[in-house]
Amino acid sequence: MLSKDQLLQIAERFGTPVYVYDAEKMKEQYQKLKSGFAGLDASFFFACKALTNINVLKYISSLGCGIDCSSINEVKLALHAGVSPENILYTSNGISFEEIQEAVKNGVHVNIDSLSNLEKFGKKFGSSYPVGVRLRPNILAGGNLKISTGHEKSKFGIPVDQLDNLLDVIKQHNIHIKTLHIHTGSDIKDAEVFVHGIKVLTELVAHFPDLEVIDLGGGFKVPYEPDDEETDIAHIAQRLKTYLESHLFNKGKTYTLWFEPGKYLVSECGYLLTQVNVMKDNGAQTFAGINTGLNHLIRPMMYDAYHHIVNLSNAHAEEKVYTVTGYICETDTFATDRLLHEVREGDVLAIYNAGAYGFEMSSNYNSRYKPAEVLVLDGEAKLIRKRDEFEDLLRNQVKAL
Ligand code: LLP
């Protein structure tokens, strides 16, 4: 965890708004996964949709973690960061067959999520390229419906109810299915959700003689609110191990487990540092208007997500109640009636848990610049993305009139 002083120095040196990531915390999280799952043959692929800066990809990969991608461009970024293809997984959703072909050309692992693409894949590659299928297990899980992906109405994956059609396609084209994949959602703390997933897959494995890998996706929850408890990774691992040993491994079927954690690896390592532009009192509420908004961190507005906020500049002052709002021409509220150490114009605030789906979901709405990104590694703060400049707003605009 970075200290308040470290964060203040970074705000001073690089300006605000700025995203700051603590490499040490990423490492600590990865080690918790590794040690939690030590009793199982498990590998981890960082779901880089959470944070794709190439320096982060390079660092996480240097820890021994693979990279999970959700677009061909993420695959290209991972390759660009120096990650080798066998450590890259492309778990697709609703993509064109051209992207799958490109992924195959690059030699990365692929999980296919529709019968239509699997059929095209079979026609083109037959059994020559071992591949995974993404299934929809009909499990409702995750912090809220917007981030639940495995339930019966979800667009993701091939529904398990269509097993017969799936097996027909595989048989017809002699496809080598190496991996069965599911991802039920994000913000999951309950070990039984993962056990449920394994149970669904256990029913199916007999149909897949080439199967080597069971991929349970991502979703491990991290604490966001001060009194949130940590997800007990070792407990999840133990529950999975017990289940696998009594239902699969005892029958001579051993599989490697893959996981695709995003938030777990990078949420807590990240801070969005912002400065207070304006204080405003409307009688009922005191607003702290900050120099960022839903254009930089949309999670509070999109999912009603809680992000802890700390006033770095006045940490010993008395606490008062504030509503923290952004500078976008929409209601972009970061926190309502939140206790913060007395806030003054010019103070630097830190918004916590900003590493995952923070910068990644940012935009140039209201023609604002995207923030800079800084990585703290071995005590040194390094700029890993420059703040946008005016030219960036014009870059792809064509003066046609
Ligand atoms: N694998 C697949 C196939 C996924 O779709 C996702 C996330 C992950 C892994 C990683 O999930 P995680 O470990 O980060 O929970 N923007 C939302 C989260 C969307 C997650 C989308 N898929 C948020 O900020 O809460």
Q: Residue 294 Cα, ligand 1 centroid: separation in angstroms?
A: 19
Instruction: Identify the residue whose C-alpha is closest to ligand 1 atom 9.
Output: 218
- Answer positive or negative: Cα dihedral of 72, 155, 220, 177: negative
**Is residue 261 reached through a cis peptide bond, with omega within 30 degrees of 0 on the bond before it?**
no
- Can you read off the two tokens belonging to residue 203? 């029913």
Q: Is 74 in the pocket of ligand 1 (CB under 6 A)?
A: no
Q: Cβ(221) to ligand 1 under 6 A?
A: no
Atom of ligand 1 nearest to the CA of 111: 3
DSSP string for residues in 277-304: EEEEE-SS-EEEEES--TTT--HHHHH-
Domains and CATH numbers, the chain: 39-265 (3.20.20.10), 267-395 (2.40.37.10)
Pairwise CA distance, residues 367 & 358, whole Å? 18
Q: Is the dihedral of CA 372, 375, 381, 385 positive or negative?
A: negative
Q: How far is CA 12 from CA 7, 83, 273, 274, in A?
A: 9, 33, 10, 11
Between CA 184 and CA 142 the distance in angstroms is 7
In this structure, are residues 347 and 276 in contact, taking their beta carbons and an 8 Å threshold? yes
49 in Cβ contact with 70 (< 8 Å): yes
Could you give the ipTM of this predicted complex? Answer: 0.99
- Mapping DSSP to helix (H, G, I), strand (E, B) and coil, where does residue 182 land? coil
Residue nearest to atom 24 of ligand 1 (CA): 357
The pTM for the full model equals: 0.97
Q: Residue of the nearest CA to atom 8 in ligand 1? A: 218
Amino acid identity of 389? Answer: E
Tokens of 348: 């630097």
Per-residue model confidence (pLDDT) at position 148: 82
The atom of ligand 1 lying closest to the CA of 134 is 3
pLDDT on residue 176: 98
Task: Name residues of the chain where pLDDT drops below 50.
Answer: none
- Are 271 and 75 spatial neighbours (Cβ–Cβ below 8 Å)? no
Q: Identify the pLDDT of residue 140.
A: 81
Is the C-beta atom of 354 inside 6 A of ligand 1?
Answer: no
**pLDDT number for residue 66:** 98
Both structure tokens of 50? 């959470």
* CA dihedral (24, 29, 46, 355) positive or negative: negative
State residue 340 phi and psi, 5-degree precision. -135, 150
Counted residue by residue, the chain has a size of 401
Establish whether 329 is a catalytic residue.
yes
Task: Evaluate: CB of 262 within 6 angstroms of ligand 1.
Answer: yes
Q: Is the CB of 129 under 6 A from ligand 1?
A: no
- Looking at the DSSP bridge assignments, the partners of residue 21 are 270, 375
Q: What's the maximum distance between 2 C-alpha atoms anywhere in the chain? A: 71
- The whole-angstrom separation of Cα 255 and Cα 202 is 11
Which pLDDT belongs to residue 49? 98
